[in-house]
């Protein structure tokens, strides 16, 4: 797989990473441990060198899984994890106090079986802690050699500027896909200006853009999509037109819908690195194939024209989580 560099950081990663959250958290029951390890190692064998986890993904269990899976080739991969929730629990709210940042980092180093974290993200902006203090705490960890690069997630323009002035931000991780394009307004121009890489999560619209979900799909009771307005039965039906358009383009390119969605993201900027997640080996192979799909200027223009006629229905988060997205 081709490599990309995240902004001006010098951090080189595979063009597609692997988002590991769903193996432990968020999309129903956790994947059986050996199957999950097998999937992570298969991703590495297929050229993926960028792996994403967080303390908040099952309160360290996902980090522990990743640590075991990647230990045999630790020096050949880039591991990203995140701090920023009280006790690693999203339900308890944000916590980016410097003491917590240090404690979470020390715990992550042990769970990940490593002596350094390649990319440490603030998971969500904490309005109660000055951004300068957050960036300063990470800067100290970088100077100690425990962290290599600083990242932010779902941060707004002003927060990014304030953090970057203290410790250069290597990457921003936020949602971006064919059905969530808000970053194009202010975020992408800022990242280009400052030389910050962009790591889109949910690049396949939490599975919707694959075409595998329709208005009659039922999710496991522990699947967070049950609470997402965009995934209400009514909105899934209303948003089907977007999937149909992606499907038409995919057929013309002899690719799948997921591959077109990923290729579209890769075509936006050379410093964009999507991190699709999956629990299935055949989906992993399909996603990796998306890195080889070339979209021409005409293809991109056709997609743009088609998308301009569609208005996606439904918020991407329930109200209590939407309130945590920094503006």
Residues that are catalytic? 57
For 289, residues 6+ apart whose C-beta sits below 8 A from its C-beta are: 255, 256, 259
* DSSP character at residue 153: E
8 Å CB contact between 109 and 66: no
Strand order across the 197-201 sheet = 18-19, 50-52, 78-83, 117-122, 147-153, 169-175, 197-201
Integer Cα distance of 34 and 31 in angstroms: 8
Integer Cα distance of 69 and 59 in angstroms: 18
Both structure tokens of 321: 């989580």
Residue where the block lists tokens 């404690």: 103
């Amino acid at each position: 797989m081709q490599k990309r560099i995240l902004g001006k950081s010098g951090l080189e990663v595979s063009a597609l990473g692997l988002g590991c959250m769903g193996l432990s958290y968020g999309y129903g029951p956790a994947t059986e441990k050996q199957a999950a390890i097998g999937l992570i190692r298969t991703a590495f064998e297929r050229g993926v060198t960028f792996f994403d986890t967080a303390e908040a993904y099952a309160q360290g269990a996902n980090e522990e899984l990743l640590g075991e899976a990647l230990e045999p080739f630790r020096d050949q991969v880039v591991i990203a994890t995140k701090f920023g929730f009280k006790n690693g629990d999203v339900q308890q709210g944000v916590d980016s106090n410097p003491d917590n940042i240090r404690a979470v980092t020390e715990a992550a180093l042990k769970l990940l079986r490593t002596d350094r974290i390649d990319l440490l993200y603030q998971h969500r902006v904490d309005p109660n802690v000055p951004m300068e203090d957050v960036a300063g705490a990470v800067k100290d960890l970088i100077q100690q050699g425990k962290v290599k690069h600083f990242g932010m997630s779902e941060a707004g323009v002003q927060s990014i500027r304030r953090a970057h002035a203290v410790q250069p931000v290597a990457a921003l991780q936020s949602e971006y896909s064919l059905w969530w394009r808000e970053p194009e307004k202010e975020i992408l121009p800022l990242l280009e200006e400052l030389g910050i890489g962009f790591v889109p999560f949910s690049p396949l619209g939490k599975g919707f853009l694959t075409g595998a979900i329709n208005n009659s799909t039922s999710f496991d009771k522990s699947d967070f999509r049950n609470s997402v307005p965009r995934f209400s039965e009514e909105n899934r039906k209303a948003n089907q037109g977007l999937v149909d358009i992606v499907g038409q383009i995919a057929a013309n390119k002899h690719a799948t819908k997921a591959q077109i969605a990923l290729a579209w993201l890769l075509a936006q900027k050379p410093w964009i690195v999507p991190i699709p997640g999956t629990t299935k080996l055949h989906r992993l192979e399909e996603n990796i194939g998306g890195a080889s799909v070339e979209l021409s200027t005409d293809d991109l223009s056709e997609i743009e024209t088609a998308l301009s006629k569609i208005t996606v229905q439904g918020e991407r988060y329930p109200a209590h989580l939407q309130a945590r997205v920094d503006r």
